[in-house]
Structure 1
Amino acid sequence: MYSDRALVIGAGFAGLLAARVLSESYGDVVLVERDEIAAETEHRAGIPQAHHPHTLLARGAEVLEALFPLFGAELAAAGAVRTDLGSDVLTRLPAGWAPRDPAGLAVPSVTRVTIERIIRRRVLKLPNVSLVDGVTIDGLLHDRGTVTGVHGRRGGRSFTDYADLVVDASGRTTKLVSWLAELGVHCPAPMIVNSHLSCTSRLYHVNRDLKLDWKLAREATHAPSTRRGGSVSSVDDELWFVTLFGAGGDVPPTDEDGFLAHAASLECQDIAEIIKTATPASEIHRADNLRSRWNRYHRVPNWPRGLLALGDAVVSLNPLYGHGMTLAALNCADLRDLLKDHDLAKEPLVFQRAVARTAQLPWTSATTADLGWSQKKLPRGTRFRQWYTRRLVEAIPGNPQVHRAFLRVSQMLDHPNTLYRPAVLWRITGRIMRRTPGRVLLSGRRPRATER
């Protein structure tokens, strides 16, 4: 063990994973959380996004299984719905319906509340991990360029705790930039890309009388013309999660009639059908201004010793693309690997640079799509990626091989460069050359699942 004590700010998804990893190298790991957390906490103020769907990508599921053996089985026991991304998913794209052939990629469909509860239970069973909740952190303790702990308030009294390593996993609402400025450490301005995305969500009780051939039905927004989208997914065995999307300034309503009208305006009518026939299990919740932001801590030359940051506290992406939990998991996988050869309390920038490397591809993917809503002239590379992505999406209907390649990249299993391989490129360029103005080459019929 490099030292005795590590302190993690935030006991959400990223903080819990960080504590799990740090428990292997530190004698004492304490999670400090602003909310008061009961053993089986449902929704809490610190995670308002839990009112909306969360996607655990296939790559993220692999990392969690490595950190928590038999994690997938525990999710299944809690009601997670295992979904094949080909045969179990009904996807409407601007050019038509995606193929329904089995993709060989299955991911768990589960609420954020359930997945976090399972992880929290596993982490807090570790003998050297503890939780202190109800704490509001006001700043960092420091001594000659080294962070030595945190200070704040708990239950109306001052709170101080010391540690050899402090990890900020406090998410999108992090105040780390301000805390560092108080220490004389100034960070570069964050990179921000805003598609003005809004999403409105509601849970429904599953209606067993409906005979459906899918577990997830969705229709994506697509710049610059398709401003509305939505999805409905089976979660936690007994519920449907219905979410409506609006991009480029289109805002899904939160009233009953408006919620249904938005869904009815989509090509994928299965979403509206659920709203019409199922019984609501929650209120309607909306989240606005869901932008992507990157705090470039890896470029701070006088970054203090004893301090790390990960997850949404560093890079928070437009949740429409489902990268958040998987990116946090990958950060913790990097943390685990680096701790084998480095004392990160003394070499924190080694870790922050790893966070930056891991974030580069999902950041480029998410922001390239969102910049499609921008009215500004974009760099040539961004414009080419947007053009190629549009051609790729147009080629998916009727092309199972292109669809599988796209799914593997979107699940962060394959590098995006695989989408430029000859087998995919030939189908895209061939379609462009066959396209005739004014003629529809792709079927708009709703596909059915097929079995092998």
Structure 2
Amino acid sequence: MYSDRALVIGAGFAGLLAARVLSESYGDVVLVERDQITADTGHRPGVPQANHPHALLARGADVLDTLFPRLADELADAGAVRADLGSDFMTRLPAGLAPRDFLGLSVLSMARVTIERIIRRRVLKLPNVSLVDGVTIDGLLHDRGTVTGVHGTRDGEPFTDYADLVVDASGHHSKLVSWLAEFGVHCPAPMIANGHLSCTSRLYHVNHDLKLDWKSACEITQAPSTKRGGSVSTVDGDLWFVTLLGAAGDVAPTDEDGFLAYATTLSCPDFAEIIKTATPASPIYRAGNLRSRWNRFHKVPNWPRGLLALGDSVVSLNPVHGHGMTLAALNCATLRDLLTEHDLAKEPLVFQNAVAKTAQVPWTSATTTDLGWSTRKLSLGTRFAQWYARRVFEILPGNPKVYRALVRVSQMVGHPAALFSPRVVWRVLSGSHPRARAR
């Protein structure tokens, strides 16, 4: 399907990938971005979470490889660190350390600004893709049930642009619901799951005098009792990203002494050692009240033609779980596939339904975990899922095969059904309960 002009709201990770895909089907693709952007832009106001770690899961990396050949090599040249999810990861669970066997499944660890900068350079080199920055979008242009463009301001002057297809990739702070309501399209209330989690992060220069046997380390929180956790990842070659996690009201301080004192309460001593001995490379940043939100656009019967939404504009997951970038990549892979058979400007709900289907598994995974901290009565299905997850985590230290299955599911390269195979169920029950083993 070949049309004339597509406009993408937002030039972040999701918007850049959407522009890359649309460049194959549209003669002119315009990225419209609120922030001022240059080829080497790093941290910017539109991505406050860039001050915290971002995970690109193995499934997301596979999608990027198809859209940007040799991207992994370019990221590695920029300092991204490749780590095997078994042997290079130290994972501390409430029940003990997870197995450290080599899994043969690896990820690249880099700062959000690094991967976005490299992808932006790639996308803006495409001959039919352009960027207009410094634009504040105030609403959509529409005509008889069809979105025809956007309007707003740029440098204090009115801004208007028209397109055959408008894609909202403006992220968690998208105003699409309000824009649609302005011309009579009303969306159902979003689903929200608040994990009441916080993360407090700082970059440090790697201290090579610390002889650590891992490239990434994490200590997980787990309801209802383990409220504190943390993670350390080696990024961009010579930096450590240290993040301290808190749940159910626990929050790591942002002052030097408080940050260190909080780290000393964790079971893994490496966190505190890094903070004590490594040289800081950034201020301490905190993000609180982290939650997940799903705008159910696929349930809007009069969804306008000429409009698509993807990424965090639709499903914004608690960033602690690391699904966001991968889910955006999967949305763009879906967009690419559907454009070969559909004119999505005329059939937008085909795409929105596919986005909803893709979101179901990561949404269930993230919200089931977060609702463990909830004080309200949960459904029987949610309570069973939480019970089973606790049993899985209890036996992980002594079960490398179950750990391998869990890692594949968490990286979205394995289906959650793998955790309910007869072999895994038997290990979960017999490993946790001697009486169940006898039965």
Is TM-score (shorter-chain normalized) higher than 0.5? yes
- Matching of residue 412 in structure 1 with residue 434 in structure 2: no
The residue aligned with 1:83 is 83
- The worse-fitting range, judged by mean Cα deviation, of 16-25 and 392-401 is 392-401
Contact 1:188–1:300 (Cα < 8 Å) also in 2: yes
Write out the 4+ residue segments of structure 1 that deviate beyond 4 Å after TM superposition. none
Secondary structure of residue in 2 paired with 1:397: helix
- Per-residue CA shift, 1:61-101, capped at 9, x if unaligned? 00000000111111111110001110111111011110111
Q: CA offset at residue 435 of structure 1?
A: 7.4
The residue aligned with 2:132 is 132
The residue aligned with 2:276 is 276
Contact 2:35–2:135 (Cα < 8 Å) also in 1: yes
Flag structure 2 segments of 5+ consecutive residues without an equivalent.
none
The residue aligned with 1:261 is 261
CA distance in 1 between counterparts of 2:96 and 2:209 reads 28
CA distance in 1 between counterparts of 2:435 and 2:30 reads 60
1:19-418 equivalent positions in 2, closer than 5 A: 19-418=19-418
CA distance in 1 between counterparts of 2:140 and 2:264 reads 50
CA distance in 2 between counterparts of 1:252 and 1:181 reads 39
Q: CA offset at residue 251 of structure 1?
A: 1.1
Contact 2:2–2:27 (Cα < 8 Å) also in 1: no
Contact 1:230–1:244 (Cα < 8 Å) also in 2: yes
Q: CA offset at residue 103 of structure 1?
A: 1.2
CA distance in 2 between counterparts of 1:140 and 1:267 reads 51
Secondary structure of residue in 2 paired with 1:288: strand
The residue aligned with 1:448 is none
Inter-CA distance 426–51: structure 2 relative to 1 (3 Å threshold) = same
CA distance in 2 between counterparts of 1:371 and 1:210 reads 37
Contact 1:228–1:245 (Cα < 8 Å) also in 2: yes
Instruction: Give the TM-score normalised by structure 1.
Output: 0.96
Aligned CA RMSD, in angstroms, stands at 0.9
Q: Which amino acid is the alignment partner of residue 10 of structure 2?
A: G
CA distance in 2 between counterparts of 1:4 and 1:38 reads 26
The residue aligned with 2:424 is 424
Q: CA offset at residue 170 of structure 1?
A: 0.2
Count of aligned residue pairs for this structure pair = 436
- The worse-fitting range, judged by mean Cα deviation, of 88-97 and 418-427 is 418-427
CA distance in 2 between counterparts of 1:211 and 1:149 reads 56
Q: Which amino acid is the alignment partner of residue 324 of structure 2?
A: G
- Per-residue CA shift, 1:11-58, capped at 9, x if unaligned? 000000000000000000000000001110010000000000000000
Secondary structure of residue in 2 paired with 1:196: strand
CA distance in 2 between counterparts of 1:435 and 1:339 reads 55
Secondary structure of residue in 2 paired with 1:341: coil
Q: CA offset at residue 152 of structure 1?
A: 0.2
Sequence identity (%):
77
Q: CA offset at residue 249 of structure 1?
A: 1.5
- Per-residue CA shift, 1:209-238, capped at 9, x if unaligned? 221110011101111111111011100001
Secondary structure of residue in 1 paired with 2:370: helix
Contact 2:394–2:432 (Cα < 8 Å) also in 1: no
CA distance in 2 between counterparts of 1:202 and 1:433 reads 41
Q: CA offset at residue 433 of structure 1?
A: 2.6
Q: Which amino acid is the alignment partner of residue 72 of structure 1?
A: A
CA distance in 1 between counterparts of 2:433 and 2:42 reads 53
Q: Which amino acid is the alignment partner of residue 66 of structure 1?
A: T
Secondary structure of residue in 1 paired with 2:210: coil
- Per-residue CA shift, 1:131-173, capped at 9, x if unaligned? 0000000000000000000000000100000000000000000
Instruction: Give the TM-score normalised by structure 2.
Output: 0.98
Q: CA offset at residue 432 of structure 1?
A: 2.5
Secondary structure of residue in 2 paired with 1:91: strand
CA distance in 2 between counterparts of 1:308 and 1:402 reads 39
The residue aligned with 1:440 is none
Contact 1:217–1:268 (Cα < 8 Å) also in 2: no
Q: Which amino acid is the alignment partner of residue 374 of structure 2?
A: S
- The worse-fitting range, judged by mean Cα deviation, of 204-213 and 51-60 is 204-213
Flag structure 1 segments of 5+ consecutive residues without an equivalent.
437-452
